[in-house]
Amino acid sequence: MFLLLLALLGLAPAAFAQSGQIEQEALQYFTALLRIDSSNPPGHETRVAEYLKSVCDREGIPGELLGDHPERQNFVARLKGSGAARPLLLMAHSDVVPAERSQWSVDPFGGVVKDGYIWGRGAQDTKSLLAAELAVFVALKRGGAPLQRDVIFLSESDEEAGSSGIQWMIAHAWDKIDAEFALNEGGFAELLAGGKILYNVQTTEKIPTRVKLVAQGTAGHGSMPRADNAVVHLAQAIVRLAEAEQPVRLNATTREYFHSLAGLPEYAQLAPAFAKLDKRGQAAAARREIVRQSPMLAAMLSTSVSPTMLQAGLKVNIIPTTAEAQVDVRRLPDETAAEVLERFRKIVNDPEVKVEKLAGGDQEMPATEPSSRTSVLYRAIEEVVRQDKGPDGSTPAVLPLLLLGATDGAFLRARGMGVYGVPLFPTPVDERRAHGNDERVSVESFAKGVRLLDSIVRKVAQ
């Protein structure tokens, strides 16, 4: 029956000929989830929650839809263990960012499988993880092996806009998700040259901090240039802020990350720069060297600044009184918003430009310490993925990662839970399409990720 489904999806059965039932069912869940349009806004994550409940109901697993809005429900289910250890939480969000359909080569909500890939909005962020966790959860129930700890499955709503889903669960249903640690999104398995894989386990993340620049000037006719033109003040402030070097600051995660990266042959050219990051007076120059070769790596070293929105004027021949810019700031987790704002004001250095937090912006994640790299769960991830030998027989590198983006995991870390972005679905750098057009995951990579997740969960839970 499943091979018939694969044929209908356009996937040659041979591609899954060596796969077990768990990978096959994960693919079935994955394509079904991709066909549910849970674009946020508006969300409608209840459609996802109802699908997940229907699967759990068929398997005899009790689950609940929870939340304060009928169209934006979370879903939570639990497999009971002996209680010898505290629970393990498997979590993934059910909403996705909107898709610009005209820019896609396939229907973004078609759950299309073709050319060796699974296509759809949320394929990478993060319905692949949601499907894999569901498949592992169901397999644990069917297997019937004793569990030393409860395993909780959580699908939370509204991660992409305001994190209201996880915050509601923490405030109103904490007992249903309270766990020793959690597996979440945020890690990634990077496919290197020659088939080698670098496994990045997310243990901490940057904090989105929305900032507004408001410039004041004097209104007037466009034919009479003015020194106190608000648009000019704003433009100069944006350039100063965007071009300023933010201070390099390492934490426990990034210090180990760059130290480990320096030992990999693929990063030998940058190893001398990595070695200077912890040396007084040399860090800024080292970061400049790194940014020339890898802006992504450089972004882990300091707070980042990206002007994204501008607003000024009523008519082309009227000099406006005010001009405003919104800036997407991702600050390091050991910096406060007050520190960042004060530094920005000094950089802008213009009394006609106010630098302030954007009122009504997205919910700001809490600043937390990185999750422990000595926990049972982190060690299990290391042990499992290191068994995935490279083509040359080499042992894969496993590194703790500071995520440049943000996840709901920060809210759980703030409650003392260890949260780890699990590195599944090996992907080349140029195939990272989360939030982009033609988002997709290779069939081979997805199957590998499901197997890895199953091994990690069993090692910790059984």
- 3-state SS track over 176-187: HHCCCEEEECCC
Name the nearest CA neighbour of 180 among 149, 139, 156: 149
Per-residue pLDDT at 437 exceeds 80: yes
Q: Which two tokens stand for residue 446?
A: 């997805």
Contact 82, 174 (CB under 8 A): no
Tell whether the model's pLDDT for residue 332 goes beyond 60. yes
Over residues 409-426, the mean pLDDT reads: 96
Contact 312, 238 (CB under 8 A): no
The pLDDT of residue 364: 75
Confidence of residue 60 (pLDDT cuts 50, 70, 90): very high
The pair of three-digit structure tokens given for residue 41, joined into one six-digit string = 């806004």
pLDDT in tens, 207-264: 999 999 999 999 999 999 999 999 999 999 999 999 999 999 999 999 999 999 999 9
User: Mean pLDDT of all residues in the chain?
Assistant: 93
The CA-atom distances, in angstroms, between 358 and each of 51, 192, 213, 320 are 37, 39, 9, 21
pLDDT of residue 362: 55
* Omega prior to 336 cis, within 30 of 0: no
What does the pLDDT average to over 404-412? 95
Please give the DSSP secondary-structure letter assigned to residue 150.
Answer: -
Q: Name the pLDDT band for 367 (thresholds 50, 70, 90).
A: confident
What count of Cα atoms within 13 Å lies in the side-chain half-sphere of residue 322? 7
Q: What is the 3-state secondary structure (H, E, C) of 90-125?
A: EEEECCECCCCHHHCCCCCCCCEEECCEEECCCCCC
Residue 192: the pLDDT is 85
Summarize the confidence of residues 145-167 as an average pLDDT: 96
Contact 34, 110 (CB under 8 A): yes
Q: For the segment 10-52, what is each residue's pLDDT rounded down to a tens digit?
A: 444 333 444 589 999 999 999 999 999 999 999 999 999 999 9
| Residues whose CB is less than 8 angstroms from the CB of residue 26 and which lie 6 or more positions away in sequence, other chains included | 131, 132, 134, 135, 446, 447, 450
Share of the chain above pLDDT 90, in %: 87
| Mean pLDDT value across residues 387-396 | 89
Per-residue pLDDT, 8: 41
pLDDT band at 128, cuts 50/70/90?
very high
* In the chain, % of residues over pLDDT 70: 95
Rg (CA), the chain: 24
Choice among 216-220, 249-253, 359-363, 444-448 with the minimum mean pLDDT:
359-363
User: What is the mean predicted confidence (pLDDT) over 324-350?
Assistant: 96
Judged against a pLDDT cut of 60, whether residue 101 lies above it is answered with yes
Say what the pTM is.
0.92
Q: Which helix (H) or strand (E) holds 3?
A: helix 2-9
Q: How confident is the model at residue 9, as a pLDDT? A: 44
Cα–Cα dist 124/139, whole Å: 22
Q: How far apart are CA 15 and CA 27, in angstroms?
A: 12
* Residue whose entry in the numeric block shows the structure tokens 């996880």: 166
